[in-house]
Structure 1
Amino acid sequence: MKQSIKQFLNKYPSITEKLKRAKYYLNKTNRSSSKQIHGVDNIFEIHPSAILKNCTIDVEGDHNRVIINENCRLYEVKIYIRGNHNLIVLDSNVTYQSGLLWEVCNHGRISIGENTTIEENVNFQIAEDHLTIAVGQDCMFSSNIFIWPQDWHPINNMNRDRINQGKSISIENHVWVGYDVKILKGVIIGSNNIIGTNALITKSFEEEHVIIAGNPGKITKRDIHWER
């Protein structure tokens, strides 16, 4: 059997080269990252061309799924899941320097669009069921950023009814998020926008081609277009 496989590979050198390349990337990923997985039917789809260096995947729960597509580069990123039926998706060519993809919930979803770049200590954290953080294509995140679609602790009225439920966050295509920005629950950011340094975003800005800055965030300039 081994001889037959060897003869087949010698006949098709392009297949041999692709297998060697896939083995190289898989070995590189396995050497530099760690996994702790507990539960049933947890699925991890990491493309052979993706590189994970000094990353951690820590999952407890069932039916969770992590998808990292082609040519992604992750360095010192922690993927942390506690719960069931959660999903994390990184589209192709995402670069992520360090931070946290964190879902302590059920049916949560974090998605990051292709060609997005993320610098150090950028944290996407979901702590309530059925919430989503969606980032579009070609976005650019600076450092020390927190994306939170919930308030972390419940607030109730005098009848004990909760009044601060979480709400999903959407950041559309080609958005530049500056240093030390915080984006809170229910926010939608339109395409081609800039969020300035230290901004606190507590409401949606669906208008496009604007700069948003301040605490709380407000539009400070219109009719802009930014480039990398």
Structure 2
Amino acid sequence: MSSQFVVQNGNSVNIGKNNNISGCVIGKGNVVEIDETVYRPNIDIQIFGDNNSLIIGADNAANGLRVRIGNHVHARGVSLKIGRYFTCEPDCQILLYNSGNSAIIGDECMFSNSIILRAGESPHLLFDKDSAEYLDVSEGVYIGDHVWVGERAYITKRVTVPNECVVAACAVITKRFDEENCVLAGNPARIVRRGIQWIRNSTKLIDGDKYHQSFVKHMTK
């Protein structure tokens, strides 16, 4: 853990080996659990408030990830969980400013660069003009297992991206999808292709299976 990570008393922080963490945890009752990794990621964390939690699974490779929970308006009861083998390129931001927010990112997700996941608009307030109903409610962001998010994608506060999906570059995700193995693209995003299977790179192909055979055929044309 980096000496640049400042934690006030009254918080529980457990950082596994090889994580380079900077930032601060200000408040009390906050929990930060980051499992050990072999990749030496750089993560900047700023938590302001009480009883929030941040959990990141084993072997993350988050290169330049910024996590913000609360701000000068302190947040309470925020939960962020990122699964195992998460990777991201620089300038990705996860912003959970509002109390009670939650975000779950599954295992083996791959984020490109300059992605923003923003759940809530605090300190600004948004109401329905006639009823005075408070509108800035997240209701959770859920990203499934093995999801690939392209560069400059923007993920808003009421979103589900199912397992095995691809989010295209510059897509703006504004709603809950329920169909796996799809490509989501556009602003606002919609399903533009179904029945896809993405693989991180050629070293992950299984020798002799249909994806390997198809790739070899393509490369030897």
TM-score range, shorter chain: 0.7 to 0.9
> 1:154 corresponds to which residue?
125
1:52 to 9, 19, 22: 19
Identity of aligned residues (%): 25
The within-5 A match list for 1:30-109 is 30=2, 33-38=3-8, 40-47=9-16, 50-53=17-20, 55-71=21-37, 73=39, 75-104=41-70, 105-109=75-79
> 1:118 corresponds to which residue?
88
Q: In 2 relative to 1, CA 70–133 (structure 1 residues): closer, same or farther, beyond 3 Å?
A: same
Write the distance in 1 (CA, Å) between the matches of 2:38 and 2:125.
Answer: 36
Find the residue that maps to 2:196 and give its secondary structure: coil
Write the distance in 1 (CA, Å) between the matches of 2:40 and 2:111.
Answer: 14
Write the distance in 2 (CA, Å) between the matches of 1:166 and 1:124.
Answer: 14
Find the residue that maps to 1:227 and give its secondary structure: coil
Write the distance in 1 (CA, Å) between the matches of 2:170 and 2:182.
Answer: 16
> 1:206 corresponds to which residue?
178
> 1:177 corresponds to which residue?
149
Would the aligned equivalents of 1:113 and 1:138 in 2 still touch at CA under 8 Å? yes
Write the distance in 2 (CA, Å) between the matches of 1:76 and 1:70.
Answer: 13
How far residue 163 of structure 1 moved from its aligned partner, in angstroms, is 2.5
Aligned letter for 1:227? I
How far residue 159 of structure 1 moved from its aligned partner, in angstroms, is 4.7
Q: Deviations over 1:73-130 (max 9, x none)?
A: 4544211000000111110111100021111111101111001111111111111111
Would the aligned equivalents of 1:151 and 1:166 in 2 still touch at CA under 8 Å? no
Write the distance in 1 (CA, Å) between the matches of 2:14 and 2:34.
Answer: 6
> 2:214 corresponds to which residue?
none
User: 5+ residue gaps in structure 2?
Assistant: 201-221
Aligned letter for 1:219? I
Aligned letter for 1:44? V
TM-score by length of 1: 0.80
How far residue 165 of structure 1 moved from its aligned partner, in angstroms, is 2.0
Q: Give 1 or 2: higher helix fraction.
A: 1
Find the residue that maps to 1:58 and give its secondary structure: strand
Write the distance in 2 (CA, Å) between the matches of 1:155 and 1:194.
Answer: 31
Q: CA RMSD in A?
A: 1.5
Q: Deviations over 1:147-176 (max 9, x none)?
A: 012134221224533133222100000000
Q: How many residues get paired?
A: 194
